[in-house]
Structure 1
Amino acid sequence: MTEQTGPSRRRLFGYAGAAVAGAVVAGGATAAGLRAEGNDPVEAGQTRDLTPYGDHQPAIAAAPPKHAELVALNLLGGSDRAALGRLMRLWTADIVALTAGRPAPGDTAPELAVPNAALTVTVGFGPRVFTLPGLTTAKPPGFAELPVMKHDRLQPGWSGGDLLVLVGADDPVSVVHAVRRLVADAAPFAEPTWRQSGFWNGTGPDGRPVTGRNLFGQVDGTGNPAPGTPDFDATVWAEGPEWFRGGTTLVVRRIMMNLDTWDELTRSEQERAVGRKLSTGAPLTGTAEHDDLDLDARDADGRLVIAGNAHSRLSHPSENDGRRIFRKGLNYVRDTGAVRESGLVFLSYQADVSGQFLPLLARLDAADALNEWTTTIGSAVFAIPPGFREGGWLAESLLR
C-alpha cells in the first residue's frame, strides 16, 4: 500500500504502504487500463487487450496482471549495440503480434496465441547494457545496482540481469507461450539467468477492481498515485536523457515471507506491525482503506496508535521528505519437495532509483517491524525504455 498526503513532486515516492515492498523493502481504453484507474469492470464484448503502442510501455500504468512471469537474461559474449538493436526489432515484432492475439513470426505453437487475454510485455535494460561501446553516456541519472541491505540475504539465482522481459496476462497459458517465443528469439544474443512467476487478484467478489492482497493477508498498494494524474507522471516518467524521455526504472525485489511465524501472531500484533487493519486495509486511525493516516494520534495510554516502527508510518511520504514510488506486487509460491517458499515479487517503478527508491529502502531496512517476518533474497534494477509508435521499435532512438 501507499499513502498520499501533500503535494507530489519529481523524485517523490508512491509510498509502499502496508506492503512488504520495502520491508526488506498509451494505448486505447482497455480493460487493463480501466482497471488501473478504478473504473467499471469490462462489459461483455469489450476487449481486454492493450495496444502495444504509445509514449510509454503500456503495462506500467495498467492494473497488475492475474498471472505474470519475469525473465532476466544476460548478454552473450561479443554482444554490442548493433546486436542489441537487432534483438529489440525482433522482440518488437513479437510484442505487436502476441498482444493482438496473433502468432509471433516463426511461432512453433501458433494456436496458443489468442486474443482477449490482456497480454502485455515490458522490456528493460540492466546496468551492464550501459557499459557497451556507444552506450556509456546514455545511462539514466540515478540508475545503478542497489547496495546490499543489512537484512538482505541475496541469492545470485534471483538477482541482476542485463535484460528483462515481464509478461503478464489474464491467462497463464498466454504468459508461458509469450515467454517461450521471446526467449527463443533472444537465443542468438542472450540467455536466461533467472525466472520468477507470480499471481495477483485485483478483482473483488462483485467483479469490480480492488487493491488486492499479499500472502500476509494485507491489502497491498492502497496509496499508489493514480495513473494519468500529475502525481503519477511526476513519480514514474523520466525526463531525460532524451532517448529515455517517457521511460522509467524498475526495481525487482524477491521477498520471502515467513508465513508460519506470522501466523503465530495475534491479529492485533499483525496490525500493529503494519499500521493498518487487515479486514479493510484502513489505517488504525481510520475506518476506510483510503483514509489518511493520522501519525500523531495516541491511545488512552499515550502510545502512538500507529507505532513508530510500523511499516505504514516508515513508508509514508511525510516520513520520507515526500518521496514516492509506484509499486506493484506478485504473490509467489515455490515448492521444493515437501518445503514451500512463499513471498512477494515486489515491483517498484520510479523515474530515479537512487533519488526515490534507495532512501526509502534504507529507512525500512533500518527499522521496519516487518523485517522480522520478511527477507529479500533477490534484487535487480532495470531501465525501462519508453514506448514505440506503429512502424517503430523498442529503444529505437538509443540503438538505431
Structure 2
Amino acid sequence: MSEPAVPAGPSVTRRGFLAGVGVASAGVSVAAVASACSVTDGTGRDRSQAGNDGADAVPAQSVPFDGEHQAGIGTPAQRHNVTVAFDLRRGAGRREVQRLLRIWTGDARRMCGGRPALADLEPELSAEPANLTVTCGFGEGLFRAAGREDVRPAWLAPLPAFRGDRLDPRWGGGDIVLQVCGDDRTTLSHALRVLVRGGADYARPRWTQRGFLDMTRRDGDGDRGGDAGAASGLSPDQAGRAGTPRNLFGFKDGTVNPRTAAELDDQVWIPGPGPTAGGTAMIVRRIAFDMPAWEEVDRDSREVAFGRTVTTGAPLTGGEEFTPADFDRLGDDGLPVIDRHSHMALATHEGRDPRQRMLRRAYNYDEPVSAGDPTLSDSGLIFTCFQRDPRESFIPVQRRLAEGDRLNQWITHVGSAVFLCPPGTTGGDTDYWGRGLIEG
C-alpha cells in the first residue's frame, strides 16, 4: 500500500490536508455494530444483572436460540467472534445437507442454552453459555448440492469487483458459514470444536476468522431493558453510559446501526412470503489496516478522514455521538466542515436512499506478526453486515466508498464472502436451520 499523502505532525491545516490527500485505491472500513443490550438467561432476568458487575465479568446467561430470526444478528454484540466458512464434501447431496443441518442446529440449540451437545466430550464446558450464539448462513454451493437452486436468491453470488480490492482466496467463498459469538473464549472455543467435529463427515473448514470487541461497561449500565430492536445496538443514552466499541484506528464503531424493531424490519429482515422470509443477507469482508502509515497521520487529519471526532464520535459539525451531522455547514475557510469525501459523508449522506442501510456487526482482528515482516502489524476489521438485498444496500455504498473514501489510503479489502442466513427455527427441538428451503 502506498504511503499516505497526509503530512504528519499537528501543524497541518484542513485546506492543506484536503489539497494534499489523493483518493487512493482500496476498500472501506465500514462501521461495526454497537455493543450489548438486553437479553435474558431464560429465567426472565436481564443478562447484565448477574455475573457482570465489572468489565471483566463473564455472564452465564443464555440468548434464546429459537425464534422468528436467528440469534447473533439483532442480538447485542458479544466480546468474541469466530466466523468459519465450510466447503461441503465431494458428493454431498440433499440428504447429507439435511443431516449436517440437523446435527449443527441441535448441538447449537443445546449449547446456547447451557446444555452439552449430544456427543459432547467435555460437557462441563457448556455449563455457562456466556451469551453464546451460533448463526448459520448458506452459500450458493449449498443450494446446488441440495438441488434447490430454484429458491436461491438472485443476489447470492460473489460480489462484483470494487476498486482497490486485493482479495485473497484464503478469506473468501464457502458453501456454508457459522458465526459463533460469546462473552467467554473458553465456551466459544469449545462450542466451535463441537460443531466442527460434529459436521466433519459432511463439511470441512475453508477459512476461519477470529475477532474481538472493546466491551468496557460503566456502573449503572445494567438497566438495558428495551424491545427486540434494542438488541441491534445501544440507544444513544445507553451508548453514552456504556461506551460504543472502538476499532483499531481508535474511532467509535457502531453509531449508525438500526436500533428499533421497525428499522430492523425495514433494513435487515427479508420480507415474505416465501421460504427466505425472516432471513437476511450476510456479507463478510476482511479489511486490513495499514497501521504504520496510519500512525504517521496527525489527529486532526484523522478526524477529517472519518468526519467524526476521535474522543466522542460526534460529527465534526458539533454535538454528541448521535447528533445528526450538518453536511451543508461551511467552515471559516469556505469548505464544508465535514469533507465530502470523508468516510461518514460517503457512507451515509451521499446515499440518502433508505434502502442503502444495513446492520453492521464487525469485530477487530489482530494476528501474530510473521518473522521478518517489516510492518510489525497484521490488524484490521472483520466487517460483517446484514441486509435485505446487497444489490440495494452494500454494493452501491461500497462502490461509492471504493471510489472516493479518504480512508482508502490506510485500508485494503482482502477477503469477501456472501451468504443467506435462513429464518430462525420455530418448529420445536426437531426444527433445523433452513428447513423450509431444503425440504420445499
Tell me if both proteins adopt one fold, taking TM over 0.5 as the criterion.
yes
The correspondence of residues 173-184 of structure 1 with structure 2, limited to 5 A, is: 173-184=186-197
Q: Give the equivalent residue in structure 2 for 1:102.
A: 115
What one-letter code is carried by the residue in structure 1 that aligns with 2:368?
D
Residue 357 of structure 1 deviates from its aligned partner by 1.0
> What is the distance in 2 between the residues matched to 1:117 and 1:306?
41
The alignment status of 1:361 with 2:398, answered yes or no, reads yes
> What is the distance in 2 between the residues matched to 1:22 and 1:41?
37
The alpha-carbon distance between structure 1 residues 252 and 241, as it changes in their structure 2 partners (threshold 3 A), is: farther
Residue 131 of structure 1 deviates from its aligned partner by 2.5
The alignment status of 1:34 with 2:65, answered yes or no, reads no
Q: Give the equivalent residue in structure 2 for 1:381.
A: 418
The alignment status of 1:272 with 2:304, answered yes or no, reads yes
> What is the distance in 1 between the residues matched to 2:115 and 2:257?
33
Residue 121 of structure 1 deviates from its aligned partner by 0.3
> What is the distance in 2 between the residues matched to 1:24 and 1:217?
12
> What is the distance in 2 between the residues matched to 1:291 and 1:226?
15
The alignment status of 1:325 with 2:358, answered yes or no, reads yes
Aligned pair count reads 371
The alpha-carbon distance between structure 1 residues 205 and 194, as it changes in their structure 2 partners (threshold 3 A), is: same
The alpha-carbon distance between structure 1 residues 32 and 48, as it changes in their structure 2 partners (threshold 3 A), is: farther
The correspondence of residues 249-260 of structure 1 with structure 2, limited to 5 A, is: 249-260=281-292
The alignment status of 1:232 with 2:264, answered yes or no, reads yes
Residue 44 of structure 1 deviates from its aligned partner by 2.8
8 A Cα contact 1:253 1:380, kept in partner: yes
8 A Cα contact 1:99 1:115, kept in partner: no
RMSD value, Cα: 2.1
Among candidates 337, 344, 364, match of residue 370 of structure 2: 337
Q: Give the equivalent residue in structure 1 for 2:384.
A: 347
1:84-130: CA deviations, max 9, x gaps? 11111101110111011121111122221122411000000112222
> What is the distance in 2 between the residues matched to 1:295 and 1:317?
7
The alpha-carbon distance between structure 1 residues 75 and 240, as it changes in their structure 2 partners (threshold 3 A), is: farther
Name the % identity. Answer: 40
Q: Give the equivalent residue in structure 2 for 1:150.
A: 163
Residue 337 of structure 1 deviates from its aligned partner by 3.2
Q: Give the equivalent residue in structure 1 for 2:329.
A: 297
8 A Cα contact 1:250 1:384, kept in partner: yes
Q: Give the equivalent residue in structure 2 for 1:43.
A: 49
The alignment status of 1:306 with 2:338, answered yes or no, reads yes
8 A Cα contact 2:351 2:397, kept in partner: no
Residue 261 of structure 1 deviates from its aligned partner by 1.0
8 A Cα contact 1:117 1:169, kept in partner: yes
Q: Give the equivalent residue in structure 1 for 2:182.
A: 169
Q: Secondary structure at the match of 2:186?
A: helix
Q: Give the equivalent residue in structure 1 for 2:253.
A: 220
> What is the distance in 2 between the residues matched to 1:306 and 1:151?
24
The alpha-carbon distance between structure 1 residues 147 and 24, as it changes in their structure 2 partners (threshold 3 A), is: farther
Q: Give the equivalent residue in structure 1 for 2:89.
A: 76
The alignment status of 1:190 with 2:195, answered yes or no, reads no
Q: Which is further off, 149-158 or 139-148?
A: 139-148
Residue 270 of structure 1 deviates from its aligned partner by 0.1
Q: Which is further off, 53-62 or 333-342?
A: 333-342
Q: Secondary structure at the match of 1:319?
A: coil
> What is the distance in 2 between the residues matched to 1:78 and 1:207?
55
Which consecutive residues of structure 2, in runs of 5 or more, have no partner in the other structure? 1-25, 41-45, 52-58, 222-241
8 A Cα contact 1:125 1:383, kept in partner: yes
Residue 48 of structure 1 deviates from its aligned partner by 2.8
What one-letter code is carried by the residue in structure 2 that aligns with 1:398?
L
The alpha-carbon distance between structure 1 residues 205 and 108, as it changes in their structure 2 partners (threshold 3 A), is: same
Q: Secondary structure at the match of 1:58?
A: coil
The alignment status of 1:247 with 2:244, answered yes or no, reads no
> What is the distance in 2 between the residues matched to 1:242 and 1:366?
36
Bigger radius of gyration among the two: 2
Q: Secondary structure at the match of 1:305?
A: coil
Residue 32 of structure 1 deviates from its aligned partner by 5.2
Instruction: Report the TM-score when normalising by structure 1.
Output: 0.88
Q: Secondary structure at the match of 1:193?
A: strand
